[in-house]
């Protein structure tokens, strides 16, 4: 028999190889996104309607004289930014966690998990698509919704806002990966649990109101949500024109969330994967 | 498939060595406070086998006999309770990343992203094994040509394809990465006779031309007879007999000419029932 020739399999991959492997997940999600364009239209319409519906509340309060002048404009911007950020972060969380549910549903999870891809590349690749997808969807919602309101963005500091969005997105990735653990562990209940995680984030992060409004117990929980800092600093940058140094504390907190949560969530996902393999839970669901 | 290049894999005569593997599952969800004794299913019971380089090793057993669990253990998708699996000397659990670069698998259930085309699916699976897009397309087309799947079907959404066509894509997905150890879990189940023959011919060609080692599970005695160099019978998670087809037939022939004995007779002689009866028993006993 001829001598078998095959390169010795690598134990660890270079950063370049990992980037390339991670990009494969971005490509796959892009292909899936193109095939499900009708759903994308549905979510876009939902996002626009939600943004308009919430922000019109501020318009009515202004029309009835409950809030006046500058305050009315600020309230409209406050709610507009809240709804847009909510659309953005829910798209990120959905994309990362639902892809696991989807893979379980299609039965492809076994093939994905047995591919020689480090879990870091797999999950970060999925997260990068989530962030890009959320950016595109939220930008479209903004472009469609903005003409309905006469908002003054002349004071906005766009450079600071862009930096906040970049750091804030990284801070949310860990949460998205953690939400993806649930469908991996509980094929039948995981998706519902992911939505519950999202609803708690919605409640405590000050999406439609300031976290100061919350009762003390919930306010304490709000400090554990990276979305709290994203919303607070983004409003500060877009409404008050805050500079990077003005929002430095929030940026540092969000960066700390990213530094802690991303490795932690990948470790938790890997532990959950191991448990799923131990208990034989990776088989097709659906 | 292109020839393999760098000669650096350890030269071993038995690429797959399985020692005393056992796996018990506790199906279903059990509340921590439940007093009911959990139902346990011993799926694989102290299985040992060795597969010679460049050979096709057949595992014959009814549905529920433990074939798929064993394949999942070899694929690192299920962790065994006891025992050891080595692929080219690498431990399937401890050296999982290296093992995953050497193996691939076809399951009885061809799972894909059904909204994507065959080629889009194959592009993803090729990319996560480190192949570039052009390489994936070239290899996919070469394999699908040999399996008789035309260009129109390659570009159609997987959900629009028949079960047999999907199974051919599953075979292409597995062979695309030129694995040195291929795990085929009932690859021809549900195929029409012509598709079955095409897949079997392809498997034989790959084994002959590319020095691939193949573990094949089936409950089709004719397929095992036609393809396998050695055969083991798996009943209730245990291997009850192992050898070449001729050795197995000779062992139960008694006064009859060996040529008059087929593998179904061997199964009957070993277990006192046909594969179908063994299947019914598994279903009745859960």
pLDDT at A276 over 70: yes
Token reading at B39:
């139902």
Flag if A1 and B54 touch (Cβ within 8 Å). Answer: yes
Q: What is the pLDDT of residue A136?
A: 96
> Which residue would you say has higher pLDDT here, B6 or B135?
B135
Cβ A174 vs Cβ A258: under 8 Å: yes
Q: Backbone phi, then psi, for A131, in 5-degree steps?
A: -65, -45
Residues of B in contact with A118 (CB under 8 A): 97
Chain B residue numbers with beta carbons less than 8 Å from the beta carbon of A99 are none
Using DSSP, state whether B56 is helix, strand or coil. Answer: strand
Q: Is residue A6 within 8 angstroms of chain B, CB to CB?
A: yes
| Predicted pLDDT at A4 | 46
B191 pLDDT higher than 70: yes
Nearest CA in chain B to A284: B111
Mean local confidence (pLDDT), B190-209: 88
Helix axes A158-185, A190-204, angle to 10 degrees: 150
CB atoms within 10 A of CB B70: 29
pLDDT of residue A3: 44
Burial classification of residue B92, based on how many CB atoms lie within 10 Å of its CB (0-12 exposed, 13-18 middle, 19 or more buried): buried
pLDDT at B70 over 90: yes
**B5: nearest CB among A5, A117, A277:** A5
Q: Does B65 lie at the interface with A, CB-CB under 8 angstroms? A: no
For B127, which of A2, A27, A278 is closest by C-beta distance? Answer: A27
Question: In this predicted model, what pLDDT tens digit does every residue of B19-66 receive, in sequence order?
Answer: 999 999 986 666 767 777 777 889 999 999 999 999 999 999 988 899
Which residues numbered 235-254 in B keep a CB inside 8 Å of some CB on A? none
Mean pLDDT of B12-23: 93
Model pLDDT for residues B136-165, shown as the tens digit of each residue: 999 999 999 988 888 889 999 999 999 889
Supply the pLDDT for residue A191.
75
CA A39 from chain centre, in angstroms, equals 18
Span A48-55, average pLDDT? 95
Which of A2, A3, A8 would you mutate first to test chain B, the one with the most B CBs within 10 A? A8
Q: What is the CA radius of gyration of chain B?
A: 20
Confidence of residue B3 (pLDDT cuts 50, 70, 90): very low
Q: Does B99 touch chain A (CB under 8 A)?
A: yes
B50 φψ region: left (φ > 0), alpha (ψ -120 to 50), beta (else):
beta
Residue A217 has pLDDT above 80, yes or no: yes
Average pLDDT over residues A77-85: 94
Quote the pLDDT of residue B62: 86
Q: Which residue has the higher pLDDT, B34 or B168?
A: B168
Res A172 pLDDT > 70:
yes
Query: Are A134 and A91 in contact, with CB atoms under 8 Å apart?
Result: yes
């Amino acid at each position: 028999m001829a001598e078998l020739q095959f390169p010795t399999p690598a134990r660890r991959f270079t950063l370049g190889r990992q980037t390339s492997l991670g990009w494969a997940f971005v490509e796959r999600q892009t292909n899936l996104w193109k095939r499900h364009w009708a759903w994308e239209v549905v979510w876009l319409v939902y996002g626009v309607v939600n943004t308009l519906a919430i922000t019109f509340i501020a318009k009515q309060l202004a029309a009835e004289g409950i809030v006046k002048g500058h305050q009315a404009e600020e309230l409209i911007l406050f709610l507009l930014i809240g709804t847009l950020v909510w659309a953005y972060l829910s798209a990120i969380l959905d994309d990362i966690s639902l892809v696991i549910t989807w893979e379980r549903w299609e039965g492809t999870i076994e093939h994905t998990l047995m591919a020689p891809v480090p879990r870091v590349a797999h999950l970060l690749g999925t997260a990068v698509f989530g962030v890009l997808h959320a950016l595109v969807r939220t930008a479209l919602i903004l472009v469609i919704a903005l003409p309905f309101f006469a908002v003054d963005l002349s004071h906005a500091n766009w450079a600071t806002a862009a930096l906040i969005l970049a750091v804030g997105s990284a801070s949310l990735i860990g949460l998205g990966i953690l939400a993806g653990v649930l469908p991996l562990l509980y094929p039948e209940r995981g998706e519902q649990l992911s939505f519950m995680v999202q609803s708690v984030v919605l409640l405590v992060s000050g999406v439609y109101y300031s976290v100061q409004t919350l009762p003390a117990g919930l306010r304490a929980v709000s400090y554990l949500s990276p979305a709290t800092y994203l919303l607070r600093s983004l409003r500060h940058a877009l409404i008050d024109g805050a500079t990077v140094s003005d929002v430095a504390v929030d940026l540092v907190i969000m960066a700390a969330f990213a530094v802690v949560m991303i490795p932690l969530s990948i470790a938790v996902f890997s532990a959950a994967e191991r448990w799923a393999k131990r208990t034989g839970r990776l088989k097709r669901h659906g | 498939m292109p020839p393999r290049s760098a000669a650096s894999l350890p030269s071993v005569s038995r690429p797959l060595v399985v020692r005393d593997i056992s796996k018990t599952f506790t199906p279903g969800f059990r509340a921590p406070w439940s007093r009911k004794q959990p139902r346990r299913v011993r799926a694989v019971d102290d299985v040992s086998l060795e597969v010679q380089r460049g050979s096709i090793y057949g595992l014959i057993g009814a549905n529920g006999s433990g074939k798929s669990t064993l394949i999942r253990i070899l694929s690192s998708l299920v962790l065994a309770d006891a025992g050891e699996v080595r692929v080219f000397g690498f431990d399937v659990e401890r050296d999982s990343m290296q093992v995953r670069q050497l193996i691939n698998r076809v399951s009885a259930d061809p799972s894909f992203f059904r909204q994507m085309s065959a080629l889009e699916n194959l592009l993803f699976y090729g990319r996560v094994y480190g192949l570039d897009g052009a390489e994936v397309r070239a290899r996919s087309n070469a394999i699908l040509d040999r399996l008789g799947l035309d260009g129109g079907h390659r570009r159609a959404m997987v959900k629009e394809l028949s079960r047999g066509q999907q199974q051919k894509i599953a075979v292409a997905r597995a062979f695309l990465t030129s694995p040195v150890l291929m795990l085929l879990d009932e690859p021809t189940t549900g195929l029409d006779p012509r598709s079955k023959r095409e897949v079997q011919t392809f498997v034989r060609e790959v084994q002959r031309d590319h020095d691939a080692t193949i573990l094949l599970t089936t409950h089709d005695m004719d397929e095992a007879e036609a393809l396998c160099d050695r055969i083991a019978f798996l009943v209730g998670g245990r291997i009850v007999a192992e050898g070449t087809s001729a050795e197995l037939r000779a062992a139960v022939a008694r006064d009859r000419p060996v040529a008059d004995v087929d593998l179904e007779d061997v199964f009957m002689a070993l277990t006192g029932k046909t594969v179908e009866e063994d299947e019914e028993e598994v279903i009745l006993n859960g």
